[in-house]
């Protein structure tokens, strides 16, 4: 069973222009993401999917593989699907790893691959981490609520559940940009029309939920931080400087995957 990781990224992000080139602990964000994915033994191949030649040249410069895609894609998951179609083979498991997850752990990615294989009834596997109420108020972060069986119920830019009873304690969860698909479920995703909540929340996975599909949630214990806006760089840099995985990595050697 062939499993691959595709990292969708582009330079023209409306929230953070040229975000993949933002420096964290002396290296570009996209290099951190790619190198960490390369540490996951469950991937047979790893690719960047981008419409930008400048980004392609940078990733190929440190040894990465790149698939060029068109500029106009509905969502990151659609870009991943376009990249998969260009391959001369069809992988059974595809992990969409967002290009701003510079602190992703290879152990987390391995869990996603294994969950896709073990949960064929789910259309997608998503990863979350625990969050504080204060952090959950950040509209750049995608919040998730799920049922007792760890099936996603809803995702929102707002803090969910409601904070109107603010004295009540509740474990908030933030989505980490890593989604696992089977080949069939990724094709199903691209064949579905965009949905109203997907558009208004700007969240890929709501297309599945609004269409009655099941998304299985797994929770990671690792403290991480996606970089959605320039103000997130300080926190990501702080975490990186204290990250044991980063301290063990040799960025002078080209990626072998």
pLDDT at 165: 63
Whichever domain contains 116, its CATH number is 3.90.550.10
- Rounded distance between C-alpha atoms, residue 196 and residue 91, angstroms: 30
Q: Is residue 255 part of a domain?
A: no
- Rounded distance between C-alpha atoms, residue 71 and residue 179, angstroms: 21
pLDDT at 157: 95
pLDDT at 210: 98
Q: Is residue 197 part of a domain?
A: yes
Enter the tokens of residue 31.
């290099």
Q: Does the N-terminal peptide bond of residue 157 adopt cis geometry, omega within 30 degrees of 0? A: no
- Rounded distance between C-alpha atoms, residue 162 and residue 109, angstroms: 30
Domain span at residue 183 reads 3-248
The domain tally of the chain equals 1
Q: C-alpha angle 76/79/82, rounded to 5°?
A: 155
Q: Is residue 50 part of a domain?
A: yes
pLDDT at 169: 73
List 150's β-bridge partners, or say none. none
pLDDT at 134: 86
Q: Is residue 150 part of a domain?
A: yes
Q: What's the average pLDDT block by block, 10 residues per block, for the chain (257 residues)?
A: 95 86 96 97 97 97 96 90 95 97 96 97 97 89 96 96 72 94 97 96 97 97 88 92 93 89
């Amino acid at each position: 069973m062939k499993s691959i990781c595709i990292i969708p990224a582009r330079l023209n992000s409306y929230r953070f222009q040229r975000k993949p080139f933002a420096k964290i602990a002396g290296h570009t964000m996209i290099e951190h993401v790619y190198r960490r994915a390369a540490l996951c033994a469950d991937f047979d191949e790893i690719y960047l999917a981008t419409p930008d030649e400048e980004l392609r040249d940078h990733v190929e410069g440190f040894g990465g593989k790149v698939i060029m895609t068109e500029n106009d894609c509905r969502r990151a998951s659609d870009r991943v699907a376009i990249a998969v179609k260009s391959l001369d083979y069809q992988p059974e498991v595809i992990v969409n790893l967002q290009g701003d997850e510079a602190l992703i752990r290879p152990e987390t990615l391995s869990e996603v691959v294994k969950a896709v294989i073990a949960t064929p009834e789910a259309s997608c596997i998503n990863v979350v981490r625990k969050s504080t109420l204060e952090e959950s108020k950040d509209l750049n972060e995608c919040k998730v609520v799920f049922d007792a069986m760890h099936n996603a119920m809803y995702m929102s830019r707002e803090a969910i559940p409601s904070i109107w009873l603010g004295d009540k304690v509740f474990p908030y969860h933030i989505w980490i940009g890593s989604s696992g698909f089977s080949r069939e479920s990724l094709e199903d995703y691209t064949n579905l029309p965009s949905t109203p909540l997907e558009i208004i929340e700007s969240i890929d996975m709501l297309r599945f939920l609004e269409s009655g599909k099941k998304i299985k949630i797994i929770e990671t214990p690792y403290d991480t931080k996606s970089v959605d806006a320039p103000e997130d760089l300080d926190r990501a840099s702080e975490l990186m400087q204290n990250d044991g995985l980063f301290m063990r990595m040799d960025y002078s050697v080209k990626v072998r995957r």
